[in-house]
Structure 1
Amino acid sequence: MKYMDMLALLGVGGAHPGGLHLTKRLLEKEEITSETSILDIGCGTGQTSAYLYCRYGCEITACDINATMVQKANKRFKQLKLPCKAIIEDIEDLSFDDESFDIILLESVAAFTNLSSSLRECKRVLKKGGIILAIETVKEPQMTEEDERLVSEFYHFQSIPNEMEWVEYWKKAGFSTVVSRHEHKIEEEGENIDFGTDFDLSDEIPSNVYDLLDDHERLTKKYQNLLGFCIFRCIS
């Protein structure tokens, strides 16, 4: 049982730093019309994709490597009567043609992958002048090698770069402009629903899923000052 399997079985939506609230803030700064083609990689249960279609009426392609997440995203689209469909894709080997999308969204996705492969694939399928918006985990300077090892083993991160290491990965993948903003946490505004996490529980959930959830909450508290996140806006 891996952390991502737990998220899928619990049907967690909005699990990335800042939740839907932060995603909305980032999207509002972009020029999105009904003609804009957006690829939502690691779409999870489809929360962001559903919002994008309802808000902008744009062309959405939702994908995730986890079949349970894809099933739950399609369930969400069907319930909302949206003409969207989620499909299974591997960010390190995408099936899309070169220069297919205007915008790519990565909400806490790339850190779980081989960055050299995944960021290069994103660059390939992004149109010239296209934009990637990414919200990704970064390690703080005080994190020790042992801390990094323990966190990586639990979450199955392939790496936890710091902010400048992330920037170098983006540049090596071929992005001409990389703007980053380092955050430690997003201050919540009262009872704003956009900060909440929604759930779509599977019919059968093994008991060790809840053990893993307890471990996640414990690690989150223990390493709250050692892990932050960055918002990256990268232009192809």
Structure 2
Amino acid sequence: MQSLINEEDFIDNAYDKLAYLIPRKGLNDIKGMDYLAFSAYIGDPNVAPGGWTTIRNLFDHIHVSDQDSILDVGSNTGHSSFLIEYYSQAKVVGIDIRKDLVQIAEKIAKEISSKAEFYDCDIKALPFDDETFSIITTTGTLAFLSEGHDKALCEMRRVLKEDGIVIDTCLYYEKEPPEHIVKEASKVLESDILDYNLEEYIKLYKKCGFQVKKSYALPTLQNKTTQNEVIDLIVQREEYLCELENQPFESEVKELLQEKMCRMFDTFSKNDEYVKGEVLFFEKSSLGRI
């Protein structure tokens, strides 16, 4: 794939498909959307902390060939899997517990001629044989599990090859946040957030038979576009998509979109004051490839 299309065109094409493949919804449908469904609806692929450049930079730190098999845990709408496939040329399998998001990923895969495969399944009960994958990637999925972190990690260890690695692009609390900040973020996400610091996060892995071999901090992102500018751009695109589908873009829908986006962005902005990102590389043996 990488030889047929340049990076910028590939990313633009994959990202654009998300908004265009989801039919426009009415007021009540949008009201009922949870965080992940709404993010997909407004064209946010939830790739990783730091976006697509985070995925690209992973492959500066490990050797990957087209003979490798990579499991992308928490693949959402598939964009992290598409980027991993693009940069690694390896076989990629994405999993997510949300069937609706997996179905979107499968549609986009067809549109962009991706060979990535997607399964809707629970990380705590993976439908794969022992030692299937040479690499497992996850973009902070553990932090959003309400329970069963040990079981999830034991399953990841089971399907990882003996000399394999896990790459976790995680967000953690660098300083302890006020309780109301965590509660509000959990409410927006509709999932209890794992409010661990980095040491506690690493201990989760060690408890389940992993050892950390390498790590590096994610750079602090400087947003060049303001929150209001982002919201305006999304609203303009929504109006355009409604026109394409011959649907009216009602003022109530516009106001609801703006309201939901404002709440989401404001909540995460406050939470981000206490959060840092780290890319962690784990092995389950001393035979690793790092």
**TM-score, normalising length from structure 2?**
0.69
2:74 is the alignment partner of 1:39: no
Q: What value does the CA root-mean-square deviation take over the aligned residues?
A: 3.0
Query: Comparing both structures, which one devotes a greater share of its residues to helix?
Result: 2
Decide whether the 8 Å contact of 2:133 with 2:160 is kept in 1. Answer: yes
Count matched residues: 228
**Candidates 263, 269, 275, aligned match of 1:215:** 263
1:6 paired residue among 38, 46, 66: 38
Distance 1:8 1:15, change over 3 A: same
SS at match of 2:45: coil
Q: C-alpha displacement at 1:64, in angstroms?
A: 1.3
Alignment of 1:37-186 (within 5 A): 37-113=69-145, 114=147, 115-155=149-189, 156-183=191-218, 185-186=220-221
User: Aligned in 2, Cα 1:187/1:132: closer, same or farther, shift over 3 Å?
Assistant: farther
Partner-residue secondary structure (3-state), 1:28: coil
- Check the 8 A contact 2:50/2:218 in 1, yes or no: no
Give distance in 2, aligned partners of 1:182 and 1:144: 23
Q: Deviations over 1:199-219 (max 9, x none)?
A: 999x99x95665433211011
Secondary structure of the corresponding residue to residue 272 of structure 2: coil
- Displacement of 1:184 in angstroms is 6.3
Aligned to 1:226: 274
2:192 alignment partner, SS class? coil
CA distance in structure 1 between the partners assigned to 2:59 and 2:121 by the alignment: 23
In structure 2, the CA distance between the partners of 1:75 and 1:124, relative to structure 1 (3 Å rule), is same
Which one has the bigger strand percentage?
1
Counterpart residue identity of residue 214, structure 1: C
In the alignment, is the contact (CA less than 8 A) between 1:167 and 1:180 conserved in 2?
no
Q: Hey, what's the Cα distance between the residues in 2 that align with 1:131 and 1:212?
A: 38
With normalisation by structure 1, the TM-score equals 0.83
Q: Distance in 2 between matches of 1:120 and 1:158?
A: 20
Q: Deviations over 1:159-184 (max 9, x none)?
A: 22110000100100110335443446
Query: Post-superposition shift, 1:154?
Result: 2.7
Distance 1:41 1:82 in 2: 17
Q: Which has the higher contact order (CA 8 A, sep 6+)?
A: 1
Partner letter of residue 29 of structure 1? H
Could you tell me whether the CA contact under 8 Å between 2:47 and 2:79 is conserved in 1?
no
Specify whether residues 31 and 101 from structure 1 end up closer, same or farther in structure 2 by C-alpha distance, changes over 3 A only.
same
Tell me which amino acid in the other structure corresponds to 1:230.
E
